[in-house]
């Protein structure tokens, strides 16, 4: 069994330290606007603890398919791979049907029900 999730890291400006004369009570410093972001897919094997990740620009069916292909390279050939994931729309995209059909004997997707707080490990 593999647990899978994704997260987005974003940077909105930067922090800085500066010297301000004591007579200026409330200095204002405008930051350069930045919208840098990284999309990260990650999966952990629940039996071995092996971690697989892929960084990208966005979450869609193409990037998810690339992640599944990388994840398939890390499977043990003696066991069937069951991937537990949430109900993001791109997890069910039609683009994935050929891949899922091709690997249906070695991989299956198990979707968590929406709003399943009792299944949260914390």
Which DSSP letter does residue 75 get?
S
* Tokens 């109900």 belong to residue: 87
Instruction: For 84-104, give one letter per residue: b (16+ CB within 10 A) or e.
Output: bbeeeebbeeeebeebeeeee
- Other beta carbons within 10 angstroms of residue 42's beta carbon come to 15
- Other beta carbons within 10 angstroms of residue 76's beta carbon come to 11
Look up the pTM and report it.
0.73
pLDDT digits (tens, 9 = 90+) for 56-104: 888 999 999 999 999 999 888 888 899 988 888 889 899 999 999 999 9
Q: Determine the pLDDT at residue 15.
A: 67
Map out the domains of the chain as residue ranges. Answer: 2-8+33-113
Q: Determine the pLDDT at residue 103.
A: 93
**Average pLDDT over the chain, rounded to whole?**
85
pLDDT digits (tens, 9 = 90+) for 11-67: 766 667 778 888 888 777 776 667 778 899 999 998 889 999 999 888 999 999 999
Q: Are 50 and 56 in contact (CB under 8 A)?
A: no
CATH architecture, domain defined by 2-8+33-113: 2-Layer Sandwich (3.30)
């Amino acid at each position: 069994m593999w647990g899978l999730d994704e997260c987005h890291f974003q940077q909105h400006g930067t922090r800085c330290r500066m010297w301000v004369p004591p007579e200026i009570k409330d200095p204002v410093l405008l930051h350069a606007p930045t919208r840098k972001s990284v999309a990260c897919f990650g999966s952990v094997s629940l039996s071995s603890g092996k971690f697989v990740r892929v960084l990208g620009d966005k979450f869609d069916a193409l990037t998810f398919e690339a992640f599944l292909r990388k994840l398939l390279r890390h499977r043990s050939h003696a066991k069937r791979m069951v991937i537990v994931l949430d109900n993001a729309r791109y997890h069910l995209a039609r683009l994935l049907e050929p891949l899922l059909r091709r690997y249906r004997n070695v991989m299956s997707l198990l979707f968590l029900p929406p709003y399943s707080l009792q299944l949260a490990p914390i």
